[in-house]
Copies of this chain bind each other. A is one copy, B any other.
Amino acid sequence: VAVTISDVARRAGVSQATVSRVLNANYRVAETTRARVAEAIHDLGYIANAHAQALIRSTTGTIGVIIHDVSDPYFGEVVSGMQEVADETGHLVLICSTQRDPSREITHIEMLRSQRVDAVILVGGSAEDAGFLLALAEQARGLRAQGGRLVLCGHHPVPSDAVVIDNRVGGYQATFELLRTGHRRIAHLGGPPRFSTTRERLEGYESAHAAFGLTPDPRLTFSAPFSRDGGHSSCVHLLEAGLAFDAIFAATDLMALGAMIALGERGITVPDDVSVVGFDGIPIARDLVPPLTTVVVPMVEMGRNAMRIAVSPPAEANQIVRLPTHLALRGSIADRTPLAD
């Protein structure tokens, strides 16, 4: 049904090889022949079959990207950085979404392997259970065996190329600031238990307390999906628990947003009654009322780096790019130190 290279060859009165040569422009072809072939290609609307090419070439020019959720701004930002460099380098990006189901990550890697992608980039924190890690390591091995590579973006539960941030430091930065400004009952709205991100940000929260010689009240730590609704429901639970608290450190900006909404519904004011800090630095954070103080993750930059590694020839050793986070101080924190006011 589709136009093939031999249709073009016939029309131009040359061999397939010649058509292939003008197509790839990697070989000298007489100008008149060139023109004739080019015309035939145009007339027929010929477009090369990438599958036939992939069967021969060692590389396909496509990079698979696996994210948790297409409608989460965090992934949107990271992916936009990736698109940027993929466009520059002429690569096609294949985006797959797991819909937050870690087991789909493995299935998706298999699909991408069958597509013979040049690399697979896994974005976001990963599950931490042994079964998953084993399966992941095996996929990484298979990928390498077929000439591809695995790039981890945002975490690195298995040895591989990776672009990472330090979630512990981030959690520390956020919590330390809250502690520094006099907060002493800080609730933590964490993510689902099985993710590395959840654990690490929580550890940062704990170590900041330790730096102040404090131990956080464990009843103040909650667990829910990394979403606006997850933050909202954790905050409702927090409120219903009836415990005193003067600040909230949410594991993501979206969760912080959900918490702010829940607080607002009860007439609790941010930051006068409760201070709130988020994590990620998604664009909307600065536009909330009040603007959200948050640990800024260089999302676009992470995406760029990960794609750069993915499209470059594999090095001997694993490349690990570590990117810093920083705290963006905005209106959602009040100063509650005794001296203030």
Spell out A's residues near B (CB within 8 Å). 1-3, 45, 47-52, 54-55, 60, 69-73, 76-77, 79-80, 83-84, 87, 92-97, 99, 110-111, 113-116, 138, 141-142, 145-147, 228, 257, 261, 283-284, 287-289
* Alpha-carbon separation in the docked complex, A77 to B49 (Å): 32
State the number of copies, please. 2
CB-CB nearest 9 A-B residue pairs: A2-B146, A71-B76, A289-B289, A51-B54, A51-B51, A95-B95, A50-B114, A71-B80, A70-B79
A69: which B residues are within 8 A, CB to CB? 80
Q: In the complex the two chains form, is B83's CB within 8 Å of A70's CB?
A: yes
Residue from B55, B94, B95, B289 in contact with A52 in the complex, judged by beta carbons closer than 8 Å? B55
A107 nearest CB neighbor, chain B only: B87
* Alpha-carbon separation in the docked complex, A43 to B51 (Å): 27
* Alpha-carbon separation in the docked complex, A93 to B93 (Å): 11
* Alpha-carbon separation in the docked complex, A114 to B99 (Å): 28
Q: In the complex the two chains form, is A1's CB within 8 Å of B145's CB?
A: yes
A93: which B residues are within 8 A, CB to CB? 95-97
Q: In the complex the two chains form, is B71's CB within 8 Å of A114's CB?
A: no
